[in-house]
Structure 1
Amino acid sequence: MTTLQPDTHHSDPARTPAHPRRWAGLAVLSASLLLVVMDMTILNVALPAITADLAPTSVQQLWMVDAYPLVLAGLLVTVSALGDRWGRKRMLLTGFTVFGVASMLVLLADSPGDVIAVRALLGVGGAMIMPSTLSLIRTLFTDPRERAAALGVWGAMAAVGGALGPIVGGLLLEYFDWHAAFLFNVPVMVVALVAGLVLLPEGRSARPPRIDAAATALSVVGMVALVYAIKNGGKDGLAVDVVVGAVLAVVALTAFVRRCLAATDPMLEVRLFRGRAFTAGVLTALASSIAMAAMLLLGAQWLQLVLGYSPLQTGLALLPMAVGGIIGSPLAPRVAERIGARRVLSGGLAVGGVGFSLLYVAPAPLSYPWLASGLTLVGVGMASLAVASAVIMAGAPAHQAGSAAAVEETSYEVGSVLGVAVLGSLAAAVYRSGLPADELAARGVDAAGAEAARESLGGALEVAATSPGGAWLAETASTSFTTSLADLGLAGGVLMLLTSVVVWWLTPADLDLADAHH
């Protein structure tokens, strides 16, 4: 493989033509990403056990899930800018430490509020880790082709993490209580910290962004308000807090973008969006995350509550998505060299869209083989994320690697939140429509029981265990949830196919991943 000379126009003093330990460094970065992504999905499996032990309200349950992505999304831009100035390796190792300490603190957690606080602190650590892994890949790999291959491995790890989370969580919950799902992080973070110290080079921006206190505040307020409005808007409709959050998000993020455009060395280089390929890469990451988050969350619930799978069986049943990603991600950059990046980006989204649509066209009642086929196709489609990462990171000169990484990671985070909030809320509305309140009352279910049953399938099954018309309620709720999963397939399929068309239109036909800086 020929090593292209680094782009001298945007040279970065931390970059060397070929770092001797770059592949070992990639192993550390990929493993740390794997863990952060796993942590997002482990909770899906652990939530029923936490709920049984701590009896959180539905709002507290929502915050247990939401605290992590809210904090992570809010801090990504600020932490990326700090990493460019302070040192990306230093930021990464600090993130490992915070993540490990937060995971140990779960031993002291004996209330829903404690778990929410632990999840928020994990979000701080995750915000330090995720963009740093991408920026350091840019520092380690100066050859664009090698970098595309490295990002393929990185993308595969993200896919594996999403599927391994439920398996590891399931395994731990078979033998230990829910605390183990958090404690699992501690030894891995210790190993990552030592390996990172030894193997990773320090990387800083040649033109570090100015740390702007006003821009920092605007980005944190804007992102947290945006994520909050999306999540609660899906659940509560246009409630006052949702409208306030949405307005606050628009005002704060608009002010943030204007401030960045006016600065010579902004905290986030928003001008990167002028590049059509960069925008196409970000859109691909966003749509893929929306789809993946909704599919994993609802799929995990359906397998456990409708089919009666144990947490471990559920994790194993979700594996086809990871298998698709593992096979596809390392191959995607090579395929892009053969047939063009545009075809891989757009085609991957289309394949994922077909995977989703299978849930809708499957004969009723939905059976596991159809879900497995859909998961596999979605996993193969997610392989285009490896190319999306390469396009995003190639669209930015080296000194703006932190900005590019922040934009990409933010699109993943916002995508995950949108997936759970919008597609999840759509599925919840379909589920509720199958359990009309008057029908429940006629069957002898009291008002509190009816509310719990319509809130979630888990609630319905608990009410069914003690109410007179229990068998009818359990069957009706399960059927309604299965219908909502099928309708999610239609919504997710349409979203991904439409995004595929937009990405095809945005991406230049002659885009070459070897053109690192154009």
Structure 2
Amino acid sequence: MTTAKTPAAASPDTPQPHPRRWAGLAVLSASLLLVVMDMTVLNVALPQLSADLRPDSVQLLWMVDIYALVVSGLLVTASALADRFGRRLVLLLGFTVFGLASLAVLWANSPAEVIAVRAALGVGGAMIMPSTLSMIRHLFTDPRERATALGIWATMAAFGGALGPIVGGALLEAFSWHAAFLVNVPVMLLAIVAGLFLLPETRNPRPGRWDLPGTVLSIVGMVALVYAIKHFGKDGPTDPQTWVPALVAAVTLSWFARRNLRRPDPMLELRLFRGPAFTAGVVTALAVSIALAATMLLLTQWMQLVQGYGPLETGLRTLPEAVGAAIASPLAPALAHRIGARTVLAGGLALSGLGLLVIWSWPGTLDYWAVAIALGMVGVGLGSLAIASAVIMAGAPPEKSGSAAAIEETSYEIGGALGVAVLGSVAAAFYRTHLTSEELAAEGVTGRAAHVAQESIGGAMDLAHEMGGAGARLAAQAREAFTGSLEWTSVAGGLLMLAAALLVWRLTPKDLDLNEVEH
């Protein structure tokens, strides 16, 4: 790793790097790690949380969805506020909100209260995630050091996603589901103290006038878009809950885009998309989120409900992804310097896509060894994509780093929503068509009970348990149907990532060198 000394190659026009930049990076990376972990911990905690609070299907959907809705709606506004009033200020406020919301779970004893806690966590997450990325752009003025720092930042993001189920499983083995939230509190407290001493304050020196109409348009448009995407997966394209918010999103976001393209001081700098490298980085973020959000959610359920692993064992069995990412991520910047950022970006997407196809193509019945191989390949692929953030930030001048960070994080949020909605719909459709009403009736399951069994594998397994020995065949049918849904979802995700790899290869300039880009 580059040392903390001032880079000798820095040009006279390049600002001097901050003397505590590496310590500051540790604070930013640790906070990002926790936020990303918190997003995946819920996957493991859902079965225990559902058994305790007994939410209905709508409440369960909101528990999962509200975080992404709030984050998506506030990302652009939070980034603009950070550019204007100070990135450290907004980041520390985000730490505070995230910590207080996590502590509030002690008083959450109903589905509605958990939904409120998740919404407050979304507010904190929207303030934290883009602020960490844009601050790195200002802490590290030397391009070579910045590429390394962004690689570490991306490593923490990938590692947090893989570590979440492990930490969550360990906590759930020893404590109640509340512990999955409470673990955030001491870390956020330490992050606030460390941030006050180690992070400098930075802001856009020429922020321009605050765009209040643009703020309203961005919040309404993004919330409506993510809401429409999620209800598309649940209710289909003909339900008013899908097309009404979709129409609202189309109108408000089009208006927002036109407004930003016409203003000399836009709230979100959409002109960054004129750079093909920037666009390639955003496509990478979007494709990864779409392909993996639903697949990883299904995998953790498959391990617990089909394979019968406990929460901790499920978390530990996701380790191949974490190990692969941990090995590949630190090597990605140097590899990009040697063989080109284009090759590393496109190659990482292709390897992850092939990893997902392993789940579908495994001969015989799907077992853990197939999943372990797939997760290892996905992890290495994700590790090589650590330079995606560096590619995005390389395409943005320092004063527009907030916009670049907001666009990247919005891509991840929209991608996650699209993945769960669209690929989740593929999984749900396969599950329902392979657990038919006729098959259920043959087992004596009809009416409301049949609907519950077809709604989710968790409902089917609960019903089979209540039936005792007579429910063994129902449980086997539900496991087989759910395994098939996982396999076909993996096919869709894998093909998407392979297609994205081709697009990224075409978009990324062949001679792009992240160690030489400077503004």
Residues 396 and 517 in structure 1, CA contact (< 8 A), matched pair in contact too: no
SS in 1 for 2:513: coil
Letter matched to residue 102 of structure 1: A
Q: Which residue of 1 aligns with 2:510?
A: 509
CA positional deviation for 1:319: 1.3
Measured after TM superposition, the shift of residue 303 of structure 1 is: 0.3
Question: Counterparts in 2 of 1:442-457, with a 5 A limit?
Answer: 442-457=442-457
**In 2, Cα distance between the equivalents of 1:181 and 1:409?**
23
1:152 aligns with 2:151: yes
Q: The residue matched to 1:312 in structure 2 has which SS?
A: helix
Question: Are residues 1:232 and 2:231 paired?
Answer: yes
Q: C-alpha offsets along residues 198-245 of structure 1, whole Å, 9 cap, x if unaligned?
A: 111111112225321111111111111111111110121111110111
Q: For the aligned residues, what is the CA RMSD?
A: 1.3
Checking the alignment, whether the CA contact within 8 Å between 1:99 and 1:125 is kept in structure 2 is: yes
Call closer, same or farther: CA 1:72–1:473 in 2, change over 3 Å. Answer: same
Counterpart of 1:351 in 2: which secondary structure? helix
Question: In structure 1, what is the equivalent of residue 84 of structure 2?
Answer: 85
CA distance in structure 1 between the aligned counterparts of 2:32 and 2:295, rounded to whole angstroms: 20
Q: Distance in 2 between matches of 1:418 and 1:487?
A: 16
Amino acid of the residue matched to residue 152 of structure 2? V
- Give the total of aligned pairs: 512
For 1:484, the aligned partner's letter is S
> How far apart are residue 167 of structure 1 and its match?
1.1
Q: Secondary structure at the match of 1:467?
A: helix
Q: For 1:320-469, what aligned pairs fall within 5 Å after superposition? A: 320-467=320-467, 469=470
Kindly state the Cα deviation for residue 364 of structure 1 after the two structures are TM-superposed: 2.8
Which secondary structure does the structure 1 equivalent of 2:109 belong to?
coil
The equivalences for 1:98-117 within 5 A come to 98-117=97-116
Q: Do the aligned partners of 1:152 and 1:329 also contact (CA within 8 Å) in 2?
A: yes
For residues 97 and 11 of structure 2, the distance between their equivalents in structure 1, rounded to whole angstroms, comes to: 34
2:235 and 2:210 map into 1 onto residues whose CA distance is 37
- Distance in 1 separating the partners of 2:458 and 2:215: 40
Q: Secondary structure at the match of 1:342?
A: helix
Alignment check: 8 A CA contact 1:4 1:144 kept: no
The code of the aligned residue for 1:166 comes to P
Amino acid at match of 2:132: T
The corresponding residue for 2:297 is 297
Are the aligned partners of 1:97 and 1:125 in contact in 2 as well (CA < 8 Å)?
A: yes
Moved over 3 A (4+): 1-8
Matches within 5 A, 1:166-245: 166-208=165-207, 210-238=209-237, 239-245=239-245
Q: Corresponding residue for 1:95? A: 94
Equivalent residue for 1:131? 130
SS of 1:383's equivalent in the other structure is: helix
Counterpart CA distance in 2 for 1:489 and 1:437 is 26
Compute the displacement of 1:7 (Å): 8.8
- 8 Å CA contact 2:144, 2:516 repeated in 1: no
- 1:195 is displaced (CA, Å) by 0.6
CA contact (8 A) 1:81 1:209 kept: no
User: In structure 1, what residue type is equivalent to 2:284?
Assistant: T
Deviations 1:1-44 (A, max 9, x none): 74443695xx8xxxx41211111100000000001001100111
Say whether 1:315 aligns with 2:339: no
| Counterpart residue type for residue 380 of structure 2 | V
TM-score, normalised to structure 2, is 0.97
Residue 268 of structure 1 aligns to a residue whose secondary structure is coil
Matched residue, 1:247: 247
TM-score (norm: length of structure 1): 0.97
Report the alpha carbon displacement of residue 76 of structure 1 after superposing the two structures with TM. Answer: 0.2
Deviates more, 1:201-210 or 1:355-364: 201-210
Are the aligned partners of 2:94 and 2:123 in contact in 1 as well (CA < 8 Å)?
yes
Q: Is the 8 A contact 1:444 1:467 kept in 2?
A: no
In 2, the alpha carbon distance for the partners of 1:209 and 1:445 equals: 64
* CA distance in structure 2 between the aligned counterparts of 1:163 and 1:512, rounded to whole angstroms: 29
Distance 2:461 2:203 in 1: 54
Q: Distance in 1 between matches of 2:263 and 2:214?
A: 10
* Residue in structure 2 matched with residue 275 of structure 1 by the alignment: 275
- Write the distance in 2 (CA, Å) between the matches of 1:276 and 1:396: 12
The answer (yes or no) to whether the contact 2:97–2:124 under 8 Å persists in 1 is: yes
Maintained 8 Å contact 2:154/2:386: yes
2:331–2:384 contact (8 Å) kept in structure 1: no
**Which ranges of structure 2 fall in alignment gaps of 5 or more residues?**
none
8 A contact 1:4–1:142 mirrored in 2: no
In structure 2, the residue matched to 1:472 is 473
- Indicate the residue corresponding to 2:284 in structure 1: 284
Question: 5+ residue gaps in structure 1?
Answer: none
Q: Distance in 2 between matches of 1:439 and 1:209?
A: 64
